[in-house]
Amino acid sequence: MKEKKSILFIHHNRHSGGASKSLFGYLNSLKDKFDIHLIFPKGTVSKDPNIKNFELIPIIGVSQFDNSEIGFYQGRRWLVLIREFFFFFPSIFSILKLKNKNFAVVHLNEISLIFIGVIARLVFSCPIILHVRTVQNNKWNLRSKLISILLNKFIDQIICIDTTVLNSLKVYKIKKPIEVVRNSFEKNGEIEKSKKFERNQITKVAIVSNFLIYKGIFDFYEAANILKETNRIENIEFQVYGDNFREMNDLKGKIMQFFGFQFDVSKKLKEKIKSDSLEDHFILKGFADDLEKVYENIDILCFPSHLNAVGRPVIEAGIHGKPSIVSLRDKENCDYLINDSTGIIIDEKNPSELANSIYDLHKNIDKRLLMGKKAFGHIQNLFSHQENLDKFETIIGRVTN
């Protein structure tokens, strides 16, 4: 019997989210073909049941260098590098512990892991595949020059999750192969027959996200308040599935608040809800253990982020036949959604436009249901798990041969 190739995957985020779900979905489909090792930071991602089939190397934190539109270093954010230097040593140690392994390839699950990728390349002398999931800062500066040099010298293959991310990589002047492999969603059973496009009396509008300002959580709230102030919120319920990105009351949380990197979003939202008397219309649901039920019971998903990017919840909503309202700057090249067909694209940081779009779909039920049906077909065609898995596996095969 032919021995399975060993692959080392390095994951960057300790919180369970779209990046981890997408990666683990692919890995579970590949586990019978490859011997999979996974380095990842300890956190809620450790509880994801989909990682139990791999050789796990949990560490205190994985060192990153962020040059995305939101995460690039400026002002006080340069202090974040203190944390990354601290995590650099356990990251190197975790790689050195595996130095006797014969890996066919190392996969980095985000471009922020580029420095760890360089170490992995030097230790294992094998090809490196880099997944890029975030839109990059387009300024040509010292950071961009450094990342450009490292990408072209140490990375063998780059994968982008969509065309928006792909276009943002132009700043790095990359000479290595680049392909788009979209995130996918795998749902068991006959989806089409089980779907229900219902006319609910109450329109349930939801956001599914950790409480991060750049995910548009306050834009979502302001949209609700605008509808209330203009007497248009009757029979509309805003639902929020998620919670604070970090624990706010422990030492780390207090330090992050002290330096202004984070504040208690949950507390602030509760204060606003009470002050604006929105208790009956804006509901904080907390983390959802069963996202299937969430998407089955909502009518509209909102993704009003400031990232010029669309997240996995839009895929998940579409596969359940629910339209999305998303905010984007690059409206012409959105893979996830066709404007005014499978959903609505609005301007970033525009609660008024978000409120109007929600109200439009609330009043025009036939339009909303048709958008949901089109969203289902679009996601099935473009984000097919098997089709994108085949692309991913083909890239691995090509790089390792």
Q: How far is CA 375 from CA 113, 198, 322, in A?
A: 33, 15, 7
pLDDT value of residue 193: 42
Q: Is 353 exposed, middle or buried (0-12, 13-18, 19+ CB in 10 A)?
A: buried
Which has the closest alpha carbon to 310: 324, 298, 299, 320? 324
Cα(116)–Cα(133) distance, rounded to whole angstroms? 17
Which has the closest alpha carbon to 324: 277, 396, 374? 374
pLDDT value of residue 256: 55
Pairing state between β 103-108 and 178-180: unpaired
Percent of the chain topping pLDDT 90: 72
Q: Which range (108-117, 186-195, 267-276) has the least confidence?
A: 186-195
Instruction: List the 324-327 sheet strands across, edge first.
Output: 282-286, 236-241, 203-208, 300-303, 324-327, 343-346
Which has the closest alpha carbon to 307: 326, 332, 335? 326
Cα(84)–Cα(61) distance, rounded to whole angstroms? 8
- Per-residue pLDDT, averaged over 243-261, amounts to 58
Percent of the chain topping pLDDT 70: 90
Indicate whether 78 pLDDT > 80.
no
Cα(293)–Cα(220) distance, rounded to whole angstroms? 21
pLDDT value of residue 330: 83
Indicate whether 254 pLDDT > 70.
no
Query: Which amino acid appears at position 39 of this protein?
Result: I
Residue-wise pLDDT tens digits, 302-333: 999 998 989 899 999 999 999 999 999 988 87
- Token look-up 């085949």 returns 390
pLDDT value of residue 255: 59
Residue-wise pLDDT tens digits, 170-197: 999 999 999 999 998 765 444 444 445 5
- Token look-up 């006319």 returns 199
Phi/psi of residue 20, nearest 5 degrees: -70, -40
Using DSSP's 3-state secondary structure scheme, residue 359 falls into: helix
Other CB atoms within 10 Å distance of the CB of residue 122: 10
- Per-residue pLDDT, averaged over 84-95, amounts to 94
Which has the closest alpha carbon to 6: 28, 38, 29? 38
Residue 36: enclosing H or E segment and its boundaries? strand 34-41
Q: What is the mean pLDDT of the chain?
A: 90
Residue-wise pLDDT tens digits, 198-245: 566 899 999 998 888 889 999 999 999 999 999 999 999 999 999 886
pLDDT value of residue 36: 97
Indicate whether 89 pLDDT > 50.
yes
pLDDT value of residue 258: 52
pLDDT value of residue 194: 40
Residue-wise pLDDT tens digits, 345-400: 999 999 999 999 999 999 999 999 999 999 999 998 899 899 999 999 999 999 99
Indicate whether 248 pLDDT > 60.
no
Cα(49)–Cα(395) distance, rounded to whole angstroms? 26
Phi/psi of residue 100, nearest 5 degrees: -85, -5
Q: Is 313 exposed, middle or buried (0-12, 13-18, 19+ CB in 10 A)?
A: buried
Computed over its alpha carbons, how large is the radius of gyration of the chain?
A: 21
**Distance from the first to the final alpha carbon of the chain:** 19
Residue-wise pLDDT tens digits, 46-70: 888 888 889 999 999 999 999 987 7
Indicate whether 159 pLDDT > 60.
yes
Query: Which amino acid appears at position 190 of this protein?
Result: E
Task: Rounding to the nearest 10 degrees, give the CA dihedral for residues 167, 173, 179, 183.
Answer: -50
Cα(362)–Cα(300) distance, rounded to whole angstroms? 9
Cβ atoms of 88 and 63 within 8 Å: the answer is: yes
Cα(319)–Cα(183) distance, rounded to whole angstroms? 13
pLDDT value of residue 188: 47
- DSSP assigned state of 343: E
Which has the closest alpha carbon to 16: 50, 48, 42? 48
pLDDT value of residue 401: 87
